[in-house]
Amino acid sequence: MRIATWNINGVKARIDTVLEWLKETSPDVACLQEIKSVDENFPRQPFEDLGYNVETHGQKGFNGVALLSKQPLEDVERRLPGDDGDEQARFIEGAVSSDKGVIRFGCLYLPNGNPLGSEKFPYKLAWMDRLIPHAERRLREENAYLLLGDYNVIPDPIDAKNAKNWLDDALFQPESRQRFRALTNLGFTEAVRACTEAAETYTFWDYQAGAWQKNNGIRIDHILLSPQATDLISGCGIDKHVRGWEKPSDHVPVWVELAA
């Protein structure tokens, strides 16, 4: 079973690209971020035509997440618990049944947090402070659970081509990185680092200043697996070639293969 995450930067602009990728890699579950669409306008039909069940949590203009699954999605929940006043569409969960039991997926679009000094950075940290106890509750269920998406966190210097360029950026602040470590330290395994120690392993390249051509990337899209899910890992990867396609997203898909 292949599980993938991808920040598509707008479903309207990216629909053909996303469909092409789905046909090429055929993930069983795909978590999409930045759909930038309200639920009513999400183009469900072309995804359903490829055999996917579709669940969305969108809003007007920006943000928005979606879950695609070849198997029916059960127990779908929208919104990250902990702040009823948070109107930003950044979190959706669902589960599928497999021969290894229930496998649950949390699809997240973590706040960017820039610029530092604005209200956006404390919002990012507060969002992470809600994510950690939620993840802790899920781990206590002792099922296969994957928490995946655009974390907007560069975990370590090796995860950026030029780490010093990010020192004043919310993605690389000690407070952001500390919370990411606190999350993984609950007992999650981070898929890509479990599969490779290779340097220059990135998931995002800016549209500007020839970042892609210079391989000036960062690794900010992550897949975290509970111990029960970690036991099923048979491989993982990054679909880097997609960044070179026509009209690309600035992010590329990350995936993990489970023996389920």
Residue number with CB closer to DNA (93 or 150): 150
| Residue whose C-alpha is closest to residue 193's, from 206, 184, 204 | 184
Cα end-to-end distance, the chain, whole Å:
6
Tokens of 165: 């360029």
Report the nearest approach of DNA to the CB of residue 252 (Å). Answer: 12
DSSP letters, 189-245, are EEHHHHH---SS--SEE-SSTTTTTTT-EE--EEEEE-HHHHTTEEEEEE-GGGGGS
Q: Could you say whether residue 173 binds DNA (CB under 7 A)?
A: no
Query: How big is the chain, counted in residues?
Result: 260
24: phi then psi, degrees, rounded to nearest 5: -75, -45
255: phi then psi, degrees, rounded to nearest 5: -140, 160
Report the nearest approach of DNA to the CB of residue 86 (Å). Answer: 13
Q: Considering only residues 51, 72, 101, 115, which one is a binding residue for DNA as defined by CB under 7 A? A: 115
The span of 5-13, 77-85, 130-138, 178-186 binding DNA (CB under 7 A) equals 5-13
H/E stretch holding 106? strand 101-109
Residues 179-208 that bind DNA (CB under 7 A): 204, 206-208
Q: Could you say whether residue 213 binds DNA (CB under 7 A)?
A: no
Q: Considering only residues 37, 176, 201, 230, which one is a binding residue for DNA as defined by CB under 7 A? A: 37
Which of 109, 145, 151, 202 is an active site residue?
Answer: 109
**Residue 52 designated active-site:** no
**Residue 109 designated active-site:** yes
3-state secondary structure of 256: strand
d(CA 89, CA 77): 12
Q: In this structure, what DSSP letter does residue 186 have?
A: T
Instruction: Please check if 221 is assigned to a binding site.
Output: no
Q: Could you say whether residue 218 binds DNA (CB under 7 A)?
A: yes
Report the nearest approach of DNA to the CB of residue 139 (Å). Answer: 26
Q: Could you say whether residue 13 binds DNA (CB under 7 A)?
A: yes
Instruction: Please check if 134 is assigned to a binding site.
Output: no
Residue number with CB closer to DNA (39 or 231): 39
Residue number with CB closer to DNA (63 or 230): 63
**Residue 99 designated active-site:** no
3-state secondary structure 37-91: CCHHHCCHHHHHHCCCEEEEECCCCCCCEEEEECCCCEEEEECCCCCCCCCCCCE
Residues in binding site: 7, 34, 150, 152, 250-251
Residues acting as catalytic residues: 109, 150, 251
Contact residues toward DNA (CB under 7 A) are 7, 9-14, 34, 36-38, 60-63, 111-112, 114-115, 120, 150, 152, 165, 169, 171, 204, 206-209, 218, 220, 247, 250-251
Residues in binding site for Mg(2+): 7, 34, 150, 152, 250-251
